[in-house]
Amino acid sequence: MSLDSSQFSAGDLVRVRRREDILHTLDGQGRLESMPFMPEMLAYCGQTFRVTKRAHKTCDFVTQTGGRALPHAVHLEGLRCNGLAHGGCQAQCTFFWKDAWLEPAASQAVPTPAPVAAGCSEAELQAATLAEGSTEAVPVYVCQATLLPEYTQPLSPWNPKQYIEDFRSGNVTSLAPFISRAAYRRFDSLVNLGVGLGRPLRWIYNQVQRLRGSSNLYPVSPGRVPPGVATPTRALHLQPGELVRVKDHAAILETLDQASKNRGMTFSAEMVPYCGGTYRVRDRVSRIINEKNGRMLEMKSECLILETAICRAQFNRRMIFCPRATYAYWREIWLERVGPAPAAPPAHSADATAN
């Protein structure tokens, strides 16, 4: 399929239009070309931001169909959903911004976009965060993540136009990362050919990594916890702002089952490049919206997200250079605290409380 480019490129400064102008572009469900404008995005109206990536393609967590083409949209630097209008979801997803909601920052005039329908009120925008028939007891949420298949179209990994667009947009600025990703994809296809090459090729990959001074093993490696044995757990009680070191890849494999999961949470290939690195805890996560059904998923045990530890779309078999930059989820057993634990707040005595 053809890729309809955004008028904006990576690095451009843009201004988010006034809220009344944006509301005029939306239908009664708060959507433009089936993409919802979410209440959490209203806070940024009238402000100036830099385009980080053109969102001409993205990944699909709803139907697991691989890459999806998305016309006339970008991601803006640092802008992620705080979940306040969606039950306190803590996924911190990157927003998609349609061109119609933005204008060049250098523009002096503030033109009003032509409405595509009767427009949408802020009350209707808020109401549109819940699916029709949703109940207070079992809310079903609607957001850009849950509706992604409705405003995108399938994109074959063999469509060369997407890679041309990666360069034209400024998302990718040199050939080196493209060559390395393409080489890995070819190597991985041989590993998974099913003719007995997998084990020796993974061994070769690991030896080359050691020669390069890296302790990371083949990105798609099965865990080492035997079938039927519970994966281990560890509580560090890490808090936002603390520094942590991600354990070596081999150590993390000791905590994973054959499906590369620890108590149901996957350690993905995209997390491997962060092994051995030091990062700051961004937040603890205990509840996220299940993108497949829109229902809030309450985690049995909290996980963490780390600053800058995002998906780089290096190893995905059906999508490379996806610009969505989703945060990875980390079990505490995969991490080590850097420095002493923060001091616990002083306990208050009964006498002190009485005073």
Burial of 203-229, coded b for 16+ CB within 10 Å and e otherwise, reads eebbeeeeeeebebbbbbbebebeeee
Residues spanned by CATH 2.30.30 within the chain? Answer: 221-337
pLDDT at 113 over 60: no
- 271-319 confidence digits (pLDDT tens): 999 999 999 999 999 999 999 999 999 998 899 999 999 999 999 878 8
> Spelled out in words, what is the top-level CATH class assigned to the domain 221-337?
mainly beta
- 172-216 confidence digits (pLDDT tens): 999 998 888 888 888 988 888 877 888 899 999 989 988 888 888
Q: Concatenated DSSP letters for 123-168?
A: HHHHHTTB-TT--SSS-BB--TTTTHHHH-EE--TT-THHHHHHHH
Structure tokens at 321: 């250079």
Query: For residue 157, which phi and psi values (nearest 5 degrees)?
Result: -65, -15
pLDDT at 346 over 80: no
Residues forming beta bridges with residue 328, ordered by sequence position: none
325 CB neighbour count, 10 Å cutoff: 16
pLDDT at 24 over 80: yes
Structure tokens at 87: 């039950």
Sorted by sequence, the CB contacts under 8 Å of residue 192 that are 6+ apart come out as: 198
